[in-house]
Chain A
Amino acid sequence: MRESDVLSPEEQLSPKKPVSLNLSILTGARVRNIKERFIELFLLICAISSVLIIFLIIYFIFSQGLPFLAEVGPSFLTGSIWRPTDGFAAGTWGIFPIIIGSLLVTLGAIGIGTPLGVACAVFLAELAPPYMRRILTPSINALAGVPSVVYGFFGLIVIVPWIRDQFGGFGASVLACWIILAIMILPTVISISQDSIRAVPREYKEGSLALGATHWQTIRSVLLPAASSGIVASVILGMGRAIGETMAVLMVAGNTVRIPVSVTSPVSTLTAQIALEMAYASGAHREALFAMGIVLFVIIMILTGAANLALRRRI
């Protein structure tokens, strides 16, 4: 309560009505004075601007890429040869291997990152002594703060040569992407899953233990199912990060436009291919990259939409 909020005796007897623009229509709150009105207007503008920005981005990408898609047709999505500028077949646009590459890399990253992340979350929430939690939690948060180009550099210098020595091939491969992306989504999965497990009401756990279940049986059959919506949400966020990751993938994937035949084959993802070629692309090549952006956008919408749908049905 500030001095300005307290009405003087005269104002209490004859209250002034608020003048002109009354935002209470939009906010539903009783507006007292100009300061508050301005603040509400400002917050409204902030909220609208974020919606505006996302629609502007969508509009821009679609306006640049849709004409190209309409011109080239479905062979853009099903063709396997990507030859934008040189060679006898210059101007061949087929991104099927790149789409497969993006999906493969994402699914593998989730496949590795989710069990590790959930296991770590369970450990931190249920089993770790406080001193271990004090060491592990900042370390995991630090993982989240590492820039993706540093991850890519680490992958290039450490992971790629290791894979090359162990399994042969280029080293830059699907496996390298899986490892790096799994590490990148770990902090997200761990922290959100941990919060979900902690948020399960104590009565569930106490009731289960009181009925004679062991700690692990309680975790497996009571806590994890109860926290499952939060865990799935964390996986969805991790998946969003994995499919959109550009710099790290660009450095360790090999960027070969062929459907990978094994985990040690090099691969190309939509994000890395766009980043690789965007700088010097012009004309049709540039429009093709925007079309790839549209495809990427649609894939992300489908994946996150499907995941959210699955999430809603479980509750």
Chain B
Amino acid sequence: MKKYAPLALVAIIVAIVVMSAGCTANTNQTGNQTGTAGKVQLAGSTSVQPHAENLAKAFMANNTGVQVLVQGGGSSSGITAVGEGTADIGMSSRNITASEMAKYPDLKPVSICVDGIAFIVHPSNSVSSLTTSQARDIFTGNITNWAQVGGKNAPINVVNREAGSGTRDGVVSLLLNGGNLTTGGVTQSSTGAVRSFVAGDPNSIGYISSAEVTSIVKAVSIDGVAPTFDNVANRSYKIQRDFLLITKGSPTGLAKSFLDYVLGSGGQALLKADGEVPISEAK
């Protein structure tokens, strides 16, 4: 039997590890509110998702016993999920379309913040401002050289997001009016990847959420309006969209508590810290 001792030891260790993995640590220290327990399921836009996750974490810290689960899938799938009842709250980075309204007539959207889409170029690029039609032509592939928009004689390297990205959908609907993005650009899979690529290529142009612009890239003005916090808040920067949380009918119960938190001072401050324009400060 001695030779089975190591094997038995390994089996016991594995069993302990597997069992302890099933135990989750309860890190909630104090619970000020509630006495309620339950689950709120959010689903939808990947652009809203990181903010929703931060809000969920803060909400759960204040309300022990409540679980707020956030998943992505895109604005369309989020609207479908809340319409079908598989999610309590749908997240969307675009407005509900007429056909979706017809299918699920009792959807109630609530704006939680305003997000601008900034077009970024390399800091050394002499172009700092574009008109809407110039931007549209660049991203549809009709303008291919920086000299055509006032820059130096160099080809324009377009950097796209992947199909399914909320930011990409925003550009297609708001700038291109549903048109075709050029197929000649490279595709990167995240905001960070787009930003790094543009920071490294002097001839590139890409698009990211205005909240994510850092000093390694330069955001261009569209029609003379820069994508600053104030310009997005007062709606003068046109390439922007409201982030919506959608419920089926008026919100009740835990979903209502969560929505109240998001629209209250705590949630709005969190969104502002993330760089978005909270709806309380928008026009």
| A interface residues, Cβ below 8 angstroms from B | 81-89, 156, 160-161, 164, 169-172, 250, 254-258, 266, 268, 276-277, 279-282, 285
Contact = CB atoms under 8 A, between A and B. Distances in A.
B10 to A, nearest CB: 17
A169 B196 CA distance: 16
* Most interface-central of B73, B163, B165, B184 (chain A CB within 10 A): B163
B186 interface: yes
Contact of A170 (B162, B163, B179, B201): B201
Interface string B191-204: 00000110011001
Interface in B112-168: 155, 157, 162-165, 168
B186 A170 contact: yes
A71 B196 CA distance: 40
Given A86-B181, A171-B200, A258-B183, A280 B165 contact: yes
B58 interface: no
B187 to A, nearest CB: 4
Contacts of A164: 200-201
B74 A256 contact: no
A172 B92 CA distance: 32
Contact of A86 (B155, B172, B184, B186): B172
A84 B168 CA distance: 13
B187 A86 contact: no
Nearest to A275: B189
Contact of A257 (B155, B183, B197): B183
Contacts of A277: 162-164
Nearest to A281: B164
Nearest to A84: B163
Contact of B184 (A89, A160, A256, A276): A256
Contact of A171 (B155, B163, B168, B201): B201
A85 to B, nearest CB: 5
B77 interface: yes
A281 B204 CA distance: 27
A160 B179 contact: no
Contact of A85 (B155, B163, B184): B163
B251 interface: no
Nearest to A258: B183
B163 A285 contact: yes
B77 A282 contact: yes
A156 to B, nearest CB: 8
Interface residues of B, number: 32
B200 A86 contact: no
A73 B271 CA distance: 47
30 contacts: A83-B180, A85-B164, A86-B172, A87-B172, A87-B176, A87-B179, A88-B179, A161-B200, A164-B200, A169-B157, A172-B186, A172-B197, A250-B189, A254-B186, A255-B162, A255-B188, A256-B183, A256-B184, A256-B187, A276-B189, A280-B46, A280-B72, A280-B163, A280-B164, A281-B163, A281-B164, A282-B73, A282-B74, A282-B76, A285-B163
B178 interface: yes
A87 B165 contact: no
Contacts of B178: 86-88
A250 B186 CA distance: 11
Nearest to B185: A256
Contacts of A266: 186
A151 B155 CA distance: 28
Interface string B86-99: 00000000000000
Interface in B174-229: 176, 178-181, 183-189, 196-197, 200-201, 204
Contacts of B180: 83, 86-89
Given A280-B72, A280-B74, A282-B74, A86 B168 contact: yes
Contacts of A83: 180, 183
Contacts of A268: 187
A44 B73 CA distance: 42
The list of the 5 closest CB pairs from A to B, nearest first, reads A280-B164, A87-B180, A254-B186, A255-B187, A86-B172
* Most interface-central of B46, B179, B201 (chain A CB within 10 A): B201
Contacts of B188: 255
A82 B183 CA distance: 9
Given A170-B157, A281-B164, 9 more contacts: A86-B163, A86-B168, A87-B172, A87-B178, A88-B179, A89-B180, A164-B201, A276-B189, A280-B164
